[in-house]
Structure 1
Amino acid sequence: MAISPQPSTSTSDTTPGRLRVLIVGGGIGGLMLGLMLEQASIDYVILERSPEIRPLGSAISMNGTVLRVFEQLGLLEDLYKISKFSGRVHLVKEDTVTQGHVDLEHYRERYGYYSVVFGRPELLKLLISRIPPGKLILGKRILTTARTEFGVLARCSDNTAYEGDILVGADGAYSSVRQNMYKELKDKRMLPRSDSKPLKFDQNIVVGITDELDPEKYSALRQDFAEIHAIIGNKAPYTMWLIPIPGNRFAWSIGGRILDSEAGKEDVRSFSFAEWFPELATDVCDLVRDYVLPDLTNSYQEDGHYKNRKTDADMHHQYADMASISDSSIHSTLSTEDSSNASSRGTKELKSEPLHSASIHLPDNIPGLLPRRQTPTAKPGTVGELIDATPPDRVSKVMLESKLFKTWYHERTVLIGDACHKVLPFAG
């Protein structure tokens, strides 16, 4: 079901003497900025080009860096209602052989908050519910932007125009605000050469969220602390992430590289591929259906590892009392198992490593897209179970770009989010 905020027929008039911010893009970045401006009593309007906001996506993880902002906005308690606390990340191969674990239990002690995981659709619903009527306007595709004598002007494809004092481009990897700003800079020979180059494009991802599942079959769904699994493909060049979220559901994503021949096609790089497309996801799902599910019935939390953790609502209010932390580096403990002696030695704890040291190397190729087709129901115990438990309109595929732009602002225009630093979403 699409999220449809109250429409507004208001156009561009500004109140004399009052600062007004034009935010282009109604994604997470644009909505969060709007809520910050709302709390600061600064006038704003969010212009979203889509006629409806589709609640697609998979899981999102957040730690103390961002949770502090949610607390300041009065959103933390509501965020906890749609979240699970992060427990451990388990790295396993396609044949279920364990490669290692990343433990996240130290986050609260070090940073004042447990990391949390939740579904992207639920976050969008929460943010939109806090945006006052008339502040989020749908169906506003920006064609051109310009500076005026007193501010900025954004012209839309429906012949409407909006004026403000500051223009914020929160409109994604193919940002129209960035393209207009860069055109002006290029004409003035002020744009760095690297910013004129196209986005790097060699990855794609398929995401989904299952219907409610039986927690007796998947007891990991009952736990307050989410045990996250990354299944690394042996034959197929994909890694699949499984994240328990509230409502007895799994959020999942399948990520990997595309073929060099596909990456070179201009139509693949086109603006339209910045969208979420449910109809393109089936064939990638078919390639991982036979991945063996890890032991999702095993309760890692029954081994005493979590016995001292507080999970009641009172602990949420203790975060503000945490002492300031001087160590700003994030570390995690990576555990590996020697399969030949695992039963006698258990898991060997290794030295503390930066979190990125546990990143997963993805193979360099991916089969091309095949014609859409029907597939047989997967046998029990495979990833296909969870794919089949996900409604088709909740499964979507996106082509992924990556690029860090050097130019993030000029005059009264500024870029945020994917519009200026497009990063891959794998493992956060």
Structure 2
Amino acid sequence: MEINPAITFQHDRKVMHAKRPKVLIVGAGLGGLTLGAILQKSDIPYEIFERASQVKPLGSCVALNATVAPLMRQLGIYDEFVAMTKVIPSIQIGNENREVEFAMTAYFEEATERFGAESRVISRPALYDLFLKQVPKERLHMSKKVLTTKQGGNGILIRCSDGTEYEGDILVGADGAHSAIRQNLYAELKSQNKLIPSDDAALPFNTISLVGQTRPLTTEEFPFLKKEECQFVRIVGNDKPFAWSTFTTKQQRICYSVVQFLDEESSKLHDSFRNSEWGPEAAGAMCDEVRHFPVISGGDKITTIGDLIDLTPKEYISKVMLEEKVFQTWYGGRTVLMGDACHKLSPAGGAGAGNALQDAVVLANYINALPLHPVVEEIEAAFEAYKTDRIEWCEKAYATSKMLQSVVDKGIKPMLVRFMMKNMPEFMKRRAAEQMYSSRPQVAFLPLDETPASVKPTHQRSLNLRAPVEEEVEAPAKTI
């Protein structure tokens, strides 16, 4: 099929063979896999393309909460998820003397009764493997780096670096903060003077992070592992532009991250790292710089970040940039963005993965409701509705991430924020929790999750959508 931008269809669906739109998903991260897992439950054809040749066990851990519990119950994986996770009862804020100054509990207490699920932590590779199992192997294509895209009235075409081409009706960019799909889409929109100027700017960043997870440890090596609940501790550096966190996991691993806050000068020094892949190669110098940072392990043994680094397989250590931005342009023609490709959130808020999963739910609902043989105008209308439903929540998550990052930032303002959070009235804590966990979207074409919760979810427009029904062709009149 030759993709012709000039072609638009004026077709009569009554005389055309029923055809659901084929979805090409670029990016096999958590967002892309989740969208695939949802579409697998429908009759919508889809394929997933990933630039890497194999999945690398990178990253630290992921915190997921009630906002995605309904989805996992609908997919039938919630019990397995619970078995792999630990409940997060609080975030403990500590200092370099290995003292816990206060604990932030407002977002976690009474979570099951109020929202239907607790907040839980899981190592990123374990969560990834759980979603990977939901997608048939034949749907996932590795070593497929997308170079160009071409879309028109009669479809969309992607060309990969190995010379292969793939055709479809909808293209989903789920390929991360430096999305090739977004870059191709924005170049097209810019040439048409349709790109919002703020979306043409580079992703801003003022922090970098060292992340990793140890091999499975004993309780003697890290006493906090004796506790059934996740021990989530953040330490603020005294006179250094760093903060660091540790998490205990069900797999007996310690996940950790060290964040460095950059000023204007140090940002320039790290700018060359902007487009680098995650990996251990870039982490060596930072590992040496942060080795002496103290860690609260729950026992008398003096533990440092360096001890955790020494207990970590080299391939499990990464240096990453923590860019932050909510883009305003989420779609164009047959192309749509989701997850980090359209809203990159700081890990400080723990909302990046959760929002990618919520994107997948809402986007799948709108794709499922498209008419048979949808034209570009119908596809764009669905994408606009998806963006309208999701962008407000992503902007709220962005603001929350910025606020939580300031808890471990440097200066007078962060000190005031810590004081306010430590002394926040109970009614304000409850209100904040309700705002955070009120978005709990569900897949419209799967049996609904009816888990009771005293705080009802916010209205979900896409929950009322239904798949199209093929129109019957009127039989010709018989002649006598």
Instruction: Please classify the TM superposition score into its range, dividing by the shorter chain length.
Output: 0.7 to 0.9
Which structure has the highest helix share of the two? 2
**Root mean square deviation of aligned Cα:** 2.1
- 3-state SS in 1 of match to 2:294: coil
Which of the residues 379, 386, 406 maps onto 2:308? 386
Give 3-state SS (helix, strand or coil) of 2:295's partner. coil
Whether 1:134 and 2:56 are equivalent positions in the alignment is: no
- Matched to 1:419, the amino acid is A
Please name the residue that 1:211 is paired with. Answer: 215
Give the equivalent residue in structure 2 for 1:67. 69
Which TM-score applies when normalising by structure 1?
A: 0.74
Which residue in the other structure is 1:311 paired with? none
Given candidates 159, 164, 184, the residue that maps to 2:168 is 164
State how far apart, in whole Å, the 2-side matches of 1:266 and 1:295 are: 31
Deviation at 1:283, TM superposition (A): 2.4
Which residue of 2 is the match for residue 305 of structure 1? none
The superposition leaves residues 264-300 of structure 1 with CA deviations (integer Å, 9 ceiling, x where unpaired) of 36962643x2x212022132223332222225139xx
Alpha-carbon distance in structure 1 between the residues aligned to 2:294 and 2:322 = 26
Q: Deviations over 1:350-372 (max 9, x none)?
A: xxxxxxxxxxxxxxxxxxxxxxx
Q: Which amino acid aligns with 1:147?
A: Q
Aligned to 1:235: 239
Q: Does the 8 A contact of 1:255 with 1:426 survive in 2?
A: no
**Within-5 A mapping of 1:9-408:** 17-103=19-105, 104-264=108-268, 268=272, 270-271=274-275, 273=276, 275-297=277-299, 380-408=302-330
Task: Check conservation: 2:297, 2:303, Cα contact below 8 A.
Answer: no
Call closer, same or farther: CA 1:415–1:254 in 2, change over 3 Å. Answer: same
* 3-state SS of 1:254 partner: strand
Deviation string 1:2-39 (CA, Å, 9 cap, x unpaired) is xxxxxxxxxx9xx9823210000011110011001111
Letter in 1 for 2:154: F
Which structure's residues are more often strand, by fraction? 1
CA contact (8 A) 1:93 1:234 kept: yes
Counterparts of 2:183 and 2:125 in 1: how far apart (Å)? 28
CA contact (8 A) 1:55 1:124 kept: no
CA contact (8 A) 1:403 1:423 kept: yes
User: Given the superposition, is the C-alpha separation of residues 226 and 267 from structure 1 closer, same or farther in structure 2, using an over 3 Å criterion?
Assistant: closer
Matched residues, percent identical? Answer: 39
Query: CA–CA distance in 2 between the matches of 1:235 and 1:109?
Result: 42
* Residue equivalent to 1:424: 346
For 2:321, the aligned partner's letter is M
2-side partners of 1:46 and 1:400: how far apart?
26
Does the aligned pair in 2 maintain the 1:95–1:291 contact within 8 Å?
Answer: no
Cα displacement string for residues 158-191 of structure 1 (whole angstroms, at most 9, x for unaligned residues): 1111111110000111111111111111111111
Asked if residue 414 in structure 1 is aligned to residue 340 in structure 2, the reply is no
C-alpha distance in 2, partners of 1:98/1:209? 22
> Could you report, residue by residue, the CA deviation over 1:28-70 in whole angstroms, capped at 9, with x for unpaired residues?
1100110011112311101101111112110100100012111
Uncovered stretches (5+) of structure 1, i.e. residues with no partner: 1-11, 299-378
**Match of 2:133, SS?**
helix
Q: Which 5+ residue runs of structure 2 have no aligned equivalent?
A: 4-16, 351-480
Conserved 8 A contact 1:285-1:387 = yes
Number of corresponding residues: 333
Per the alignment, do residues 176 and 253 of structure 1 end up closer, same or farther by CA in structure 2, a change over 3 Å counting? Answer: same
Q: Is the 8 A contact 1:236 1:288 kept in 2?
A: no
Q: Which amino acid aligns with 1:278?
A: P
What code does the residue aligned with 2:344 have? K
**8 A contact 2:175–2:340 mirrored in 1:** yes
Taking structure 2 as the reference length, what is the TM-score of the superposition?
Answer: 0.66
Give the whole-Å Cα distance in 2 for the aligned partners of 1:259 and 1:178.
Answer: 28
Asked whether the equivalents of residues 241 and 262 of structure 2 are also in contact (C-alpha less than 8 Å), the reply is no
Tell me what 1:355 maps to. none
Partner AA of 2:260 in structure 1: G
User: Per the alignment, in what secondary structure is the counterpart of residue 225 of structure 1?
Assistant: coil
Determine if contact 1:87/1:225 at 8 Å carries over to the other structure. Answer: yes
Secondary structure, aligned partner of 1:79: helix
1:317-375 Cα distance to aligned partner (Å, 9 max, x none): xxxxxxxxxxxxxxxxxxxxxxxxxxxxxxxxxxxxxxxxxxxxxxxxxxxxxxxxxxx
